[in-house]
Structure 1
Amino acid sequence: MAVSVRLIMAALLGLALNVQAEKAPDFTLKSDTGENLNLEEQRGKVVMINFWASWCAPCRKEMPLLEELYDRYEKDGFTLFGINVEQNPEAAEKFLADVGVSFPILYDPESEVSRAYQVNAMPTTVMVDRDGEVRYVNRGYREGDEEKYRKQVRELIGE
Structure 2
Amino acid sequence: MTTSLMTRVTPYLTAIMFSLLTSSALAATTMNKTAPDFTLKSNQGKNFRLSEHRGDVLFINFWASWCGPCRQEMPILEELHSRYSSAGFKVVGISIDEDEAAANGLLKKIPVSFPVLYDTTSKVSELFDVDAMPTSVLVDRNGKMRFLHRGYKPGFEDDYRAQIRELIKE
**Normalization by structure 1: what TM-score?**
0.91
Computed over aligned residues only, the root mean square deviation of the Cα atoms, in angstroms, reads: 1.3
State the aligned residue count.
Answer: 150
Q: Tell me which residue corresponds to 1:16.
A: 28
Alpha-carbon distance in structure 2 between the residues aligned to 1:68 and 1:103: 10
Deviations 1:30-74 (A, max 9, x none): 000221011100000001100000100000000000000000000
Matched, 1:139 2:150: yes
Equivalent position amino acid for 2:111 in 1: G
The farther-off stretch of 73-82 and 9-18 is: 9-18
Structure 1 stretches of 4+ moved >3 Å: 9-14
Tell me what 1:126 maps to: 137
Matched AA of 1:58: P
Q: Is the 8 A contact 1:84 1:107 kept in 2?
A: yes
Larger radius of gyration: 2
Counterpart code for 1:50: N
Residues 2-81 of structure 1 aligned to structure 2 (within 5 Å): 13-19=25-31, 21-81=32-92
Q: Does 1:105 align with 2:87?
A: no
Asked whether 1:116 is paired with 2:94, we answer no
Q: Answer whether contact 1:17 1:137 (CA < 8 A) is retained.
A: yes
Instruction: Measure the CA separation in 1 of the matches of 2:24 and 2:38.
Output: 27
Structure 1 residue aligned with 2:17 = none
1:148 aligned to 2:159? Answer: yes
Return the letter of the residue paired with 2:70: C
Looking at secondary structure, tell me which structure has more helix per residue.
Answer: 2
Identity %: 51
Q: Structure 1 residue 152: deviation in Å?
A: 0.7
SS at the partner of 2:147? strand
TM-score computed with the length of structure 2 as normaliser:
0.85
Gaps in structure 2 of 5+ consecutive residues: 1-20
Question: How much does 1:10 deviate?
Answer: 5.9
